[in-house]
Amino acid sequence: MLQVHQIREKKDEFLAALAKRGMDAKEELELILKTDEKRRSTQAELDETLAKLNKFSKEIGQLFKSGQAELANEMKEQTTALKEASKELQNTLGDASKELEELLYGIPNIPYELVPTGSNEEDNEEIFREGDIPQLEDNALPHWELAKKYDLIDFELGVKVTGAGFPVYKGKGARLQRALISYFLNKNTSAGYTEYQVPHLVNEASGYGTGQLPDKEGQMYHVTNEDLYLIPTAEVPVTNLFRGDLLNHTDLPILCTGYTPCFRREAGSYGAHVRGLNRLHQFDKVEIVRLEEAQNSYAALDGMVDHVKEILRELKLPYRILRLCGGDLGFAAAMTYDFEVFSTAQDRWLEISSVSNFETFQSNRLKLRYKDADGKKQLVHTLNGSSLALPRVLAGILENYQDADGIKIPEVLVPYCGFDRID
């Protein structure tokens, strides 16, 4: 969530930055400032009224003590009017504050200066590419056919138990899935991230804290009786572990990692681009989250990118990195790098990770602050990244490592899964 004082001081800069997202926010920002002015003037009037009440209360006591009861009673009548006025002002202040908060919730984050202008994924900027795309046999299969051939994943059983988008992993498919989770967590903890096991349901405050609500409300599964939400990513519960905290600069950086299932009510569509593991309602993901001081957050973002690079190098999967344009940038992100692995059997790139810096957008919602070296309270910068999302990594391994006799397992995963081939 943006801060009102920043909007007031940098309105023109913010308008230009939001234009990168294809958003003309002039009316919205002016309404925010107008509502904030009403809130501030109401607060000033309320403070003045309460100050008069306090003063009159003291004077009334003195008048009664000095025997001036008639004058004291006259002043008591004035205090009654002041109390009524203060109640009305408090109601007006509450309404203005709520309206201001709702307006602020509707404005996305300000894109970082390096974010390219653009309207959709076609305008994203490729900044890095690595790995050789393997040459497969003419009869190479996409991962959903491989999963069926070698009895690794049963999509029909998932439909039977729940519905489309909820696959059942079996045998070596399940073991490979578990191997990837363990490998990712070990890589993250070796890099200094502390592992957390967190709840898979969160309350509304947590959803608002990290920006999923109200922006992505329609994409989240809602447990209505308890007013809880199934998590779309571990980012939500992990970041909310620190909601409302006041840290010290010596506590930072804080590095967290965690494995969770993720649940997303994505709009249904048809075709090969959403077949198999390409798009699911439930999938597994290992996440990394960082809390940083402002001056260190973009260096930390680069470090997270390098960390994901190392994982993909060890898996020996061909990948590329995109810097997302304003129109493709997530609501809460100031800058995002997307990693995509090349699926040889599908002949296309598949997104497998997003690494983002949210700057103070989440921490302002979370009221997550720290005391800097001078003792001044500052908002923390929050970052997160997939390290990694499993479905498309698994799809990439199945497709890119297939040969005429089966599927080879990446060497780095063999100690985790206990076999080197699927055949």
Summarize the annotated binding site as residue ranges. 233, 264-266, 287, 351-354, 384
Whole-angstrom Cα distance, residue 171 to residue 152? 6
For the chain, counts of helices (H) and of strands (E): 13, 19
Buried b (16+ CB within 10 A) or exposed e, 212-225: bbebbeeebeeeee
Peptide linkage before 141 cis (omega within 30 of 0): no
The beta strands (E) that lie in 83-223 are given as 125-130, 153-154, 168-169, 194-195, 201-203, 222-223
Cα separation, 401 vs 398, in Å, equals: 6
Q: What's the alpha-carbon Rg for the chain, to the nearest Å? A: 27
Which tokens belong to 282?
């439930």
Task: Cite the annotated binding site for ATP by residue number.
Answer: 264-266, 351-354
Question: Would you list which residues are annotated within the binding site for L-serine?
Answer: 233, 264, 287, 384
Strands 335-343 and 319-323: antiparallel
d(CA 172, CA 158): 17
